[in-house]
Structure 1
Amino acid sequence: MATVVTEKLSRLFINVQQVPQLLAPLSPSTVSSSEVPKVFWKPYIHAGYRPVRQTWRYYFSTLFQQHNEAINVWTHLVAALILLLRFQQLSQRAKSEFWHYSFFFMDYVGVAIYQYGSALSHYYYTIEPSWHEKIKGFYMPMAVLLAWLSCAGSCYAKYRYHQSARLLSRLCQELPSGLAYVLDISPVVHRIFTAPPSERADPALLYHKCQVLFFLIGAFFFSHPYPEKWFPGKCHFFGQSHQIFHVCLVLCTLAQIEAVVLDYESRRQIYSALQGDLAHNFSALCLFTVTCCVLTAACMARKVRNTLGFKEE
C-alpha cells in the first residue's frame, strides 16, 4: 500500500511541462510489456508515448528546474561543499607526519606495480621470438625482484635520508628503477632495432618509439631540476621539473597502451605460440609482487610510527 501511495504522489509532483521532453511519440501497437519498466509510464505509453534516453546535459539542467527532487539534490550539493571547505580548513592545521610518509610509501607501491605491468605486457605481447629465447629463463623473476627493490629502495630513502644525504637517497631510488627499466624495455628496444624493413611502418613500432622517447625525457627532468635552476623562485607553482616529468610519464603511458593494444590485435599468432598457457603463472607473480611491496611499505610505515613515537617521548 505504501509503495502504491508513493508512486501516485510522485506523479503529482512531476512538472507537466517536462513530459514532452521525456517522452517521444510511439505507436501503441509497438509497445510490449517488456518496454514498460515502471508503473508511472503506463498511462503515457498507452497514450502513444515512450521514455527516451537523455544526455548528461539534460540531467544537469534539472538542477535548475522545479521538480519534487530539486531541494533534495541541492541539500546534498550544499552539504558536500560545506564538508569540502571544512576539510580544507582542517588540512591546514591537522597534518600528520606519519601519514605524510605513509602516502609516499603507497605511491612507491603503485610505481612498483606499474613496473611489473610494463614488464609483463612487453614480455607477453611485444617480444620477438629470438629475444624471448634468450631471456625467458630470468626475465619475469628479475622483473619481480627489481620492482620490489624499486619500492623498497624508495621507501627506505624516504624514511632514512634527508636533504643532507641527497646522493644516497637518489641512489636508493633511481638505481633499482633504472635497472628495472633497462630490463622491462629490452623487448621493445630489441624489436625496434631488429625490425625488418617490411615491418618498420607498423604503427605499434611508432608508439613504442614514442613511449621510449617520452620516458627518457621524463627521466631527465626527474633527475635534474630544470627549468627552476634557470628561474630561481619562479617555478614553485607552475613549470617545475617534476611537473614536466609527470606530463612526460602520462604521454609515455598513453603511447605504451596504444602500442600494446596494437600488438595484442596483430601479433596473436606470435605471442600465443610463445607464451602458451602461462597466464595463470603471470597472475600469480603479479599477486606475489603486490603482496611483497605492500608488506614492505607497511613495515616501513611501522618504523616511521615507532620513530615518531620515540621522538614524542
Structure 2
Amino acid sequence: MATVITEKLSRLLFNVRQGPQLLAPLSPSNATQLFQQHNEAINVWTHLVAALILLLRFQQLSQRVDFGQDLHAQPLLIIIAASITYLTFSTLAHLLQAKSEFWHYSFFFMDYVGVAIYQYGSALCHYYYAIEPSWHEKIKGFYVPAAVLLAWLSCAGSCYAKYQYHQSAGLLSRLCQELPSGLAYMLDISPVVHRIYTAPPSQQSDPALLYHKCQVLFFLIGAFFFSHPYPEKWFPGKCHFFGQSHQIFHVCLVLCTLAQIEAVVLDYESRRHIYSALQGDLAHNFSALCLFTVTCSVLTAAYMARKVKTKLSFKDE
C-alpha cells in the first residue's frame, strides 16, 4: 500500500518533463546520509527501524491470518499498511527534505499524507475491534465520517501551516497543525478510553487492554515533547545531534504504534464474537473510505506542492 500511495503522489506532484528532477533526490548517493552524523539521523532511523519491524510483523501475521479471504481482517491490514506508510514517508521526509526548498516542502507534505492515513487507520481499528457495544451504539452515526473528515483536515491544516507559516511557531501555525490532529485523536481514541474505564476488574489484566494503555501513555508523552522544546530548552546548543524533543517524540510515537498493533492483533483474535455482531459486512465500506481519505489527502498535498512551486518561481524572478 505504501508503494502504491508513493507512486500516486509522485505522479500528481510532477509531470513527465520533470522526470530527471524527480530522480535526483532519490539517487544512490542520498542513501549514504543514513550513515552520516547529522541532526536528522535519529529521526530517520527511529521510523526506518520501526517500519522494518512492522514489515516483519506483517510477514508473521500473514502466516496465520487470511487477509485475502477474512472480511474482518481488512481493518487489521489497513492499520498495518497505514503504520508502515506513515513511518516510510516520515523517514523519507527527514532524510531528503534538505535537497532544496521545493523538496523540503514536498517531502513534508507527503509526510502529512502518511499521518492522515495513519489517523484514519487508527480510528478504524479502534472502532472495529476495540469498541464496546454500549459506546458503539452512541457514536455509530457519526464516528467514521468524522474520522475521515478530521484525518483530511489534519493533512490540509499541516500542509497549509507549512506553506503559510514556514519556520514559524506562532499561534496560527500551531492551530492549523495541532487543532485538527488533537480533535482527531480525541475522537479516534474514544473507543479505547471508554473500554479502559468501563472494563470490570476481571478484565483489567487482559493483555490487549494493557497494550492499549501503553499506547495511550506513549502517545501522550510524545504529544508533550512534540509541543514543547525540551530538553533542548534546558541545554541550549547541546542537543543538535541527540536529545532533541522531536527525537523523543519519534521514539514515543514508534512505541505507541507498536503497542497499538499488538493490541489490535489481540482484539482481532479474541473479540470476534463482539465485532462480527457489531460491524456485520461493513468492512468493504470502511476500506473504501480509506481509499477516499488517501485520495483527498494526496490531492491536497499535490495542490499545496503546486502552490509552493508557483511561490518559488516568483521568488526566483
Same fold (TM over 0.5): yes
Deviations 1:225-280 (A, max 9, x none): 00001100000100010000000000000110111111011100000000000011
Deviations 1:162-185 (A, max 9, x none): 345622111100000000000000
CA distance in structure 1 between the partners assigned to 2:2 and 2:159 by the alignment: 58
CA distance in structure 2 between the partners assigned to 1:135 and 1:298 by the alignment: 33
1:157 aligned onto 2:128: no
In 2, are the aligned partners of 1:14 and 1:67 still within 8 Å (CA)? no
Question: CA offset at residue 99 of structure 1?
Answer: 1.1
Note closer, same or farther for the CA distance 1:298–1:87 as it changes in structure 2 (3 Å cut).
Answer: farther
SS of 2:168 mapped into structure 1: helix
Q: Considering only CA atoms, is the larger Rg found in Structure 1 or Structure 2?
A: 1
Q: 1:24 maps to which residue?
A: 24
CA distance in structure 2 between the partners assigned to 1:299 and 1:7 by the alignment: 16
Question: CA offset at residue 208 of structure 1?
Answer: 0.4
Note closer, same or farther for the CA distance 1:21–1:242 as it changes in structure 2 (3 Å cut).
Answer: closer
In 2, are the aligned partners of 1:116 and 1:147 still within 8 Å (CA)? yes
Deviations 1:143-198 (A, max 9, x none): 00000000000000000013456221111000000000000000000000000122
In 2, are the aligned partners of 1:13 and 1:68 still within 8 Å (CA)? no
Note closer, same or farther for the CA distance 1:83–1:309 as it changes in structure 2 (3 Å cut).
Answer: farther
CA distance in structure 1 between the partners assigned to 2:38 and 2:183 by the alignment: 61
Question: CA offset at residue 138 of structure 1?
Answer: 0.3
TM-score by length of 2: 0.69
In 2, are the aligned partners of 1:204 and 1:262 still within 8 Å (CA)? yes
Note closer, same or farther for the CA distance 1:83–1:258 as it changes in structure 2 (3 Å cut).
Answer: closer
Long gaps (5+) in structure 1: 29-60
Note closer, same or farther for the CA distance 1:233–1:194 as it changes in structure 2 (3 Å cut).
Answer: same
- Say which is worse superposed, 195-204 or 9-18, in terms of deviation: 9-18
CA distance in structure 1 between the partners assigned to 2:175 and 2:10 by the alignment: 66
Note closer, same or farther for the CA distance 1:267–1:99 as it changes in structure 2 (3 Å cut).
Answer: same
Question: CA offset at residue 97 of structure 1?
Answer: 1.2
CA distance in structure 1 between the partners assigned to 2:284 and 2:251 by the alignment: 34
Bigger RCO of structures 1 and 2 (CA < 8 A, at least 6 apart):
2
Residue 236 of structure 1: which of 221, 240, 263 is its match? 240
SS of 1:164 mapped into structure 2: coil
Question: CA offset at residue 100 of structure 1?
Answer: 1.0
Note closer, same or farther for the CA distance 1:199–1:101 as it changes in structure 2 (3 Å cut).
Answer: same
Note closer, same or farther for the CA distance 1:265–1:161 as it changes in structure 2 (3 Å cut).
Answer: same
Long gaps (5+) in structure 2: 65-97
In 1, are the aligned partners of 2:37 and 2:241 still within 8 Å (CA)? no
1:26-175 equivalence runs, <5 A: 95-164=99-168, 166-175=170-179
CA distance in structure 2 between the partners assigned to 1:77 and 1:107 by the alignment: 13
Question: CA offset at residue 95 of structure 1?
Answer: 3.2
Note closer, same or farther for the CA distance 1:166–1:88 as it changes in structure 2 (3 Å cut).
Answer: farther
Residue correspondences, number: 281
SS of 2:24 mapped into structure 1: strand
CA distance in structure 1 between the partners assigned to 2:105 and 2:182 by the alignment: 23
Question: CA offset at residue 15 of structure 1?
Answer: 51
Calculate the aligned-residue CA RMSD, in Å. Answer: 17.0
